């Protein structure tokens, strides 16, 4: 098994045994001194300068689609946005005079406002920690109240049994 898989199993075992300690089934967890396996840091492969130059500055003579593709690749490279954010970009979000594009992760906020949960969003965005995901979703008090009205536990208590 890879170290990441081993650590997943160890975390699950620790959580289960800690639950048993909390429920007083066990006095102490046998996993209390077990440490996670060291995971090697995976290096993300990157393009060489020569590869980037060929990709971002192809030979002349292409048509509209080649120009479009080159523009998108340059935008991705120069801004660091995700491909999905580029695909969601609207003309209204571009200011060509100021050379800016409004991106700052609208999907994440819209996902939560439309009833999506933060834990699924965390997985979709690939975040290891939920606190990273929370930074993307800044909800004001009115939005929080609306969410509570729609999903409040007391208001919906009887619905599950129907």
pTM over 0.85: no
Q: Residue by residue, what is the 3-state secondary structure of 111-132?
A: HHHCCCCHHHHHHHHCCCCHHH
Q: What does DSSP assign to residue 156? A: T
Smallest CA-to-CA distance from 77 within 86, 64, 68, 88 is with 86
Per-residue pLDDT reduced to its tens digit, 141-153: 677 677 777 776 6
Query: Got the DSSP string for 68-128?
Result: HHHHHHHHHHHH---HHHHHH--GGGEETTTTEE--TTHHHHHHHHTT--HHHHHHHHT-S
Contact 111, 119 (CB under 8 A): no
Per-residue pLDDT reduced to its tens digit, 109-147: 777 777 787 788 788 777 888 888 777 776 666 776 777
Give the span between the Cα atoms of 119 and 115, in whole angstroms.
12
Q: Find the mean pLDDT for residues 50-73.
A: 85
Q: What percent of the chain has pLDDT over 70?
A: 85
**Would you list the domain boundaries of the chain?**
1-45, 49-91, 106-161
Output the six-digit token pair for 46: 């990157």
């Amino acid at each position: 098994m890879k170290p990441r898989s081993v650590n997943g199993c160890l975390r699950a075992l620790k959580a289960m045994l800690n639950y048993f300690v909390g429920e007083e089934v066990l006095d102490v967890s046998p996993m209390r001194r077990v440490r996670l396996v060291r995971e090697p840091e995976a290096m993300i492969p990157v393009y060489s300068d020569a590869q980037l130059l060929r990709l971002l500055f192809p030979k002349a003579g292409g048509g509209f689609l080649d120009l479009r593709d080159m523009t998108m690749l340059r935008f991705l490279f120069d801004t660091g946005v995700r491909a999905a954010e580029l695909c969601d970009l609207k003309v209204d979000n571009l200011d060509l005079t100021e050379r800016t594009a409004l991106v700052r992760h609208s999907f994440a906020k819209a996902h939560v406002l439309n009833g999506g949960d933060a834990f699924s969003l965390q997985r979709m965005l690939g975040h290891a920690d939920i606190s990273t995901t929370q930074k993307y979703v800044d909800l004001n008090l009115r939005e929080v109240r609306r969410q509570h009205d729609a999903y409040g536990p007391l208001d919906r208590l009887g619905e599950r049994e129907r």
